[in-house]
Amino acid sequence: MSNKKTTTPTTTPTTTPTTTPTTAGATELEQEANPTPDVPAPDVPAPVEAALVPVEAPAVPAIAEALTEQPTLHNDVPFDVRSPQGLLTLAKMFPDKAQYIETLKPATKADETRLLEALPDVLRQNWAAAIEKMQTEKIGDHTRDSRGMNPFAVKIYHGTGNDPMRPEMAGPGSIYGSDGRVLAAPSAESARVLTLAGYPCKEAFSFYVIGMTRVYANWKGEDDEDVKSDESRRRAPLCSSLDRQRGSLYGECNKCEHRPFKDNKPQDCRTEWQLILVPEDFSGVYRWMLSKTQAATAAAMSKISSPWRTNWQHLWDVQTEAKIEGDRRWYLPKAKPRSSPIPPAVDAFLRALAVQVDLDLFWRPVVAAHRRSLTQARTAPPIANMDSLMAKAMAAGNNAPGTAPAGSPPDFSKRTV
Q: What is the DSSP string of 368-387?
A: HHHHHHHHHHHHSPPPP-HH
> Per-residue pLDDT for 91 more than 50?
yes
Predicted local distance difference test score (pLDDT) of residue 257: 85
pTM of the predicted model as reported, rounded to 2 decimal places: 0.72
The residue type found at 137 is E
Q: Is 182 helix (H, G, I), strand (E, B) or coil?
A: strand
Predicted local distance difference test score (pLDDT) of residue 127: 95
The residue type found at 326 is G
In a domain, 414, yes or no: no
The answer to whether the Cα torsion of 264, 266, 267, 271 is positive or negative is positive
The pLDDT mean for the chain works out to 80
Tens digits of per-residue pLDDT, 234-251? 567 889 999 999 998 888
Range of the domain at 297: 107-133+148-377
Q: How many CA atoms lie within 13 A of 339 on its CB side?
A: 0
In a domain, 363, yes or no: yes
Taking a C-beta distance cutoff of 8 angstroms, is the pair 271, 259 a contact?
A: no
Tens digits of per-residue pLDDT, 98-116? 999 999 999 999 999 999 9
Helix (H) or strand (E) holding 39: none
Q: How many CA atoms lie within 13 A of 394 on its CB side?
A: 6
Q: What's the number of domains the chain is made of? A: 1
In a domain, 166, yes or no: yes
Distance CA 386, CA 66 (A): 44
Taking a C-beta distance cutoff of 8 angstroms, is the pair 148, 361 a contact?
A: yes
Closest of 274, 277, 317, 270 to residue 177, by C-alpha = 277
Residue 190 binned pLDDT confidence (cut-offs 50, 70, 90): very high
In a domain, 6, yes or no: no
Predicted local distance difference test score (pLDDT) of residue 146: 55
In a domain, 308, yes or no: yes
In a domain, 185, yes or no: yes
Distance CA 275, CA 157 (A): 18
The alpha carbon torsion through 56, 60, 65, 66 (nearest 10 deg) reads: 90
In a domain, 172, yes or no: yes
Find all residues with CB under 8 Å of 331, minimum gap 6, and list them.
156, 157, 158, 172, 173, 186, 320, 321, 322, 323
In a domain, 89, yes or no: no
**With 0-12 CB in 10 A as exposed, 13-18 as middle and 19+ as buried, what is 284?**
buried
* CA distances in angstroms from 25 to 4, 30, 260, 324, listed in the order given: 21, 9, 89, 108
Predicted local distance difference test score (pLDDT) of residue 407: 54
